[in-house]
Structure 1
Amino acid sequence: MINAQGKNLVFLLCVPRSGSSLATVMLQNHSKIFATQEMWFLMSLLDLKHNQHRPYGGMGIINQFFNGIVPDEVFQKAARSFSLQVYNGLLQSSEAEIVVDKSPRYYYLLEFIDSLFPQSKRIWLIRNPLSILSSYKKVESLTNSRFSIENDLLNPQFNIKMTDLTVGFFRYYHYFSSNHPLAYRLQYEKLVSNPVEEMRKVCKFLEITYEEDLEKYGEKMHSSKSDLFYSMGVGDPFLAKHSEPHRDSIDSWKDILSKKEVEMYCQVLGARIFHELGYSDVLEEAEKWTGVKFDAEPDMELIRFRTEQLNDASGHKWENQYEMKVHELHNQMFEEEITSKNDNYQLIQLQTTLSSLEIRLENSYIEQKRLRSKLEKHEELRGKINRLKSIVPFGNRISSWASEYLVHRGRE
C-alpha cells in the first residue's frame, strides 16, 4: 500500500514523445507493479485552486473559496487523501504493491508532487531532444494533426506542444539537476539498446527483484494488466507493432527532421544541455549538418515567454529553476502526527480569518479605486463646466439670472 508520505508510489517523468509508453509497458509486466497509460488527475486536483471556465459559472466564488477560505494545509491534506484513495484503489484491484504514475505533463506540478508525496520515487526518462522533436513530427503526421516547428516554435500564440518542447524540457532538467536518493535517471537510448540490464537497474532502484522477460511486452499483451494498459488508447501509437524494445528510432531524427528544424530547435535549447545529458555526439552531428555553431546557453527570452504564457493561462505560478526536494515540515508532520489537535485547529482558524481579511482588504482596495476613478471623472466634468463658464461673457451672471427666472416661472 502507498502511505501518506508516498512510499510505494513512483512518478515516471518526462516530456511527451520521450518513450514513456515503452518504459511503462515493460514495468507493468512486473507482478508487484501497477502501471498504466497517463493518469493526469493530479493536474485537475491542483487546478481546483485556479480560475478556469466552468459551464455552470461561479469562477469568482470557487476562487474565493479555495484561495480565501480553505487554508493551504487543508487543501493539501484533502488532495493527498483523494490521491491515496485513487492509488490504493488501483493496487487493490490488481494485487500489486507499487503504483507507477506516468504522466508526461507533470512538469506542470513538480512542487505539488513534492509537497503531497515527499517520499515518492521519481524516474526521469531522458531522450535525445532531436529524437523527441522527430517523434512529435512523425506522430502528428500520422494523425493528420497540425504540427510545424518552423511556424510554431517562435510564434507568440500559445501552443502546448511548443511549451512541452521548451518549458517542459527545462523544468525537468532543473528539477533533476542534483543527485537525490529518491531520483533515478533512465536514458531511452540505453533502455532500447540493453533493456534487460536497464530494467534490472530500475528494479533495484524500486527495491524489487527483477523478473525475467519484463522487456518482452509482446508476449504478455493479452494479460488483464496489458488489456487495461492498451485500453487507455493514448501514448505511442507504434508501440503495439513490436513485441520488445528496438533501436530503429534512435537515429530517425536525421531522416525525419529538416535542416531548418534542427537549427531552430538547437538554437532554442542551447549546446550545454546536450553535453550535460550525454548527447554531445548528437550536437556535433547537428552542427556539422546545419553548419551552425550553437551557443551554449538556451534562448531564455523564449523560455520565459512560454512559461509566462502557461502560467497566465492556468493561473499557476512556479518557483524559478525548481529542484527536487523533500519538505522537512511534511516529514516531521507525518512522523509525529499532530501533537496538539487544539493548537492545529486554532491555527487553521487564524489562517482562515487572515485569508478572509485579505480578501476584504483586496475588495476594499478595488472599491476605493472605483470610487476614486468616479470622483476623478466628476472633477474632470466640473472643470470642463468651469472652463465653459469662463469662456462665455458674464457666464456666472447669466447663469444666476436664468436660475431666478426659472424659479419665478415655477411659482407662477
Structure 2
Amino acid sequence: MIDNRGNNLIFLLCTPRSGSSLATVMLQNHSKVFATQEMWYLMGLYDLQLAVHRPYGGNGIIKQFYNGMLPKETFEQASKAFSLQVYNGLMQSSGAEMLVDKSPRYYYNLEFIDSLFPHSKRIWLIRNPLAVISSYKKVNKHVRDRFNLIEDLMHPDFNIKMTDITVGLFRYYHYFSGESTYAYRLYYEQMVRKPQEELEKLCGFLGLTYEEGLEKYGDFADSSKSGLYYSMGVGDPFIVHHKEPHLQSIDSWKEVLDKQEIEMYCRALGAKIFVDLGYGEQLKEAEKLTGAKFEMEPDMELISLRTKQLADASGCRWIDRYQLRSDYIDFGGSMIQPDLPEDHQAVDSQLLQAQITLRSLEKRLEKSYLEQRRLRSQLEATKEKIKRVKAMIPFGNRLSEWASTYLTGGRKR
C-alpha cells in the first residue's frame, strides 16, 4: 500500500513519445506492480484551484475560495488524502503492492507531486530528442493528427506539442539535474537493446525482485492487466505490432526527419542538453547531415515564450529551474510542518482559522485596490475623451460657456 509520504508510489516521467508505453507494458507484468495507461490524474486534481471556465459560472467565487480562503497546506493535505484513496483503491483491485502513474505531461505539476508524495520513486525515461520528434511525426501521421515542426515550432500561437518538446524537456532536465535516492534515469536506447538487464536494474531501484520474462510483453497479452492496458486506447499505437522490445526506432529519425526539421529543432534546444543527456554522437551526426554547427545554449526567447503561453493558458505558476525535492515543501519552497501532537491541536485550529481570515481579508483588500485602480483609469480615460471631443469643435470653450449659462437660467446671447 502507498503510505502518507508516497512510499510504493512510482511516477514514470518523460516527454510524450519517449517510450513510456513500452516501459509500462513491461512493468505491469510484474506480480507486485499495478501499471496502466496514462492517468493525468494529478493534473486534474491540481487544476481544481485554477479559475478556468466552467459552464455554471462562479469563476470569481472559485478563485476566491482556493486562493483567498483555503490555505495551500489544507489543499495539499486534502489532495493527498484523496490521491491515497484513489491509488490504493486501484491497487486493491489487482492485488499489487506498488502503483505506477505514467503521465508524460506531469512536467506541468512537478512541484505538486513533490509536495504530496516526497518519498515516491521518480523514473525519468530519457530518449534522443530527435527520435522523440521523429516518433511524434510518425504517430501523428498514422492517427491523422497534426504535427508540423516547420510551421509550428517558431509560430507565436500556443501549441501543446511544441511545448512538450521544448518546455517539457527542459523542465525534466532541471528537475532531475541533482542527485536523489528517489530518482532513476532510464534510457530508452538501453532499454530496447538490453531489456532484461535494464529491467533487473530498475526493479532493484524499486525494491522489487526481477521476475523472469517481464520484457516479453507479448506473452502476457491475454492477462487481465494487459486487457485493461490496451482497453484505454492511448499511448503508442504501434506497440501491439511487436511482442518484445526492438531496435527499429533508435536511428529512424535520420530517415523520418528532413534536414530542415533536424536543424530547426537542434537550434531550438542547443547542443548542451544533447551532450549532458549522453547524445553527443547523435548531435554530431545531425551536424554532419545538415552541414550546420549548433550553439551550446538553447533559444531562450522561444523557451520563455512557450513557458509563458502555458502559464497564461492554465493559470499555473512554476519555480524556475525547479529540482526534485524529497522533503515537505509548499510551492514557495518553505517547509511544511508535520502533524502536531494532540495537545497542540486546539492552538493549531485557532491558528488555521486566523490564517483563513487573514487570507480572505488580504484578497478583499487586493480586490478593492485593483477596483480603485480600474476606476481611476476609467476616470482619466473619460477626461481625455472629453478633451479630444472639445478640441474637435470650433470655439469649443466658448460654446461650452454659452451652453452652461443657458442651462443655468441665464439668457445671455
Check whether TM > 0.5: yes
Structure 1 residues 397 and 147: alpha-carbon distance in aligned structure 2, compared to 1, 3 A threshold = closer
1:343 is matched with which residue: 338, 347, 358? Answer: 347
CA positional deviation for 1:373: 3.6
Distance 2:242 2:403 in 1: 96
For the Cα contact (< 8 Å) 2:126–2:188, is it kept in 1? yes
Superimposed CA distance per residue, residues 55-112 of structure 1 (whole angstroms, 9 cap, x where no aligned partner): 1111111111111111101100111111101100011101000000000000000000
Partner of 2:170: 170
For the Cα contact (< 8 Å) 1:338–1:344, is it kept in 2? no
CA positional deviation for 1:381: 7.5
Question: What RMSD in Å do the two structures reach over aligned CA positions?
Answer: 2.4
1:139 aligned counterpart, secondary structure: helix
CA positional deviation for 1:347: 2.1
Partner of 2:7: 7
CA positional deviation for 1:360: 1.1
2:93 aligned counterpart, secondary structure: helix
For the Cα contact (< 8 Å) 2:274–2:280, is it kept in 1? yes
For the Cα contact (< 8 Å) 2:38–2:103, is it kept in 1? yes
Q: For 2:128, give the aligned amino acid.
A: N
For the Cα contact (< 8 Å) 1:389–1:396, is it kept in 2? no
CA positional deviation for 1:149: 0.4
Distance 1:273 1:398 in 2: 73
Structure 1 residues 185 and 223: alpha-carbon distance in aligned structure 2, compared to 1, 3 A threshold = same
For the Cα contact (< 8 Å) 1:5–1:334, is it kept in 2? no
Superimposed CA distance per residue, residues 342-367 of structure 1 (whole angstroms, 9 cap, x where no aligned partner): 22212211221111111211221123
For the Cα contact (< 8 Å) 2:114–2:329, is it kept in 1? no
For the Cα contact (< 8 Å) 1:10–1:121, is it kept in 2? yes
**Equivalent residues in 2 for 1:182-331, closer than 5 Å:** 182-328=182-328
Aligned pair count reads 407
Distance 2:138 2:196 in 1: 27
Distance 2:318 2:89 in 1: 31
Superimposed CA distance per residue, residues 34-69 of structure 1 (whole angstroms, 9 cap, x where no aligned partner): 000001010011111112111111111111111111
Comparing 176-185 with 349-358, greater Cα deviation is found at 349-358
Q: For 1:351, give the aligned amino acid.
A: Q
CA positional deviation for 1:262: 0.4
Q: For 1:37, give the aligned amino acid.
A: Q
Distance 1:287 1:184 in 2: 30
For the pair shown, the structure with the greater C-alpha radius of gyration is 1
Give the structure with the higher percent helix: 1
Any unmatched runs of 5+ in structure 1? 407-412
CA positional deviation for 1:369: 2.1
Distance 1:367 1:263 in 2: 49
For the Cα contact (< 8 Å) 1:5–1:120, is it kept in 2? yes
Structure 1 residues 397 and 82: alpha-carbon distance in aligned structure 2, compared to 1, 3 A threshold = closer
Structure 1 residues 398 and 358: alpha-carbon distance in aligned structure 2, compared to 1, 3 A threshold = closer
CA positional deviation for 1:307: 0.3
Structure 1 residues 305 and 219: alpha-carbon distance in aligned structure 2, compared to 1, 3 A threshold = same
1:123 aligned counterpart, secondary structure: strand
Structure 1 residues 136 and 380: alpha-carbon distance in aligned structure 2, compared to 1, 3 A threshold = closer
Distance 1:77 1:146 in 2: 39
Partner of 1:21: 21
Distance 2:89 2:141 in 1: 38
**Equivalent residues in 2 for 1:75-90, closer than 5 Å:** 75-90=75-90
- Identity rate, percent: 59
**Equivalent residues in 2 for 1:69-148, closer than 5 Å:** 69-148=69-148
1:10 aligned counterpart, secondary structure: strand
Q: For 1:188, give the aligned amino acid.
A: Y
Q: Does 1:357 align with 2:361?
A: yes
Structure 1 residues 381 and 291: alpha-carbon distance in aligned structure 2, compared to 1, 3 A threshold = closer
Superimposed CA distance per residue, residues 239-295 of structure 1 (whole angstroms, 9 cap, x where no aligned partner): 111110111110010110001100000001111111111111101100001000101
Distance 2:275 2:67 in 1: 42
Distance 1:144 1:137 in 2: 10
Comparing 200-209 with 332-341, greater Cα deviation is found at 332-341
2:17 aligned counterpart, secondary structure: coil
CA positional deviation for 1:178: 0.9
Partner of 2:380: 376
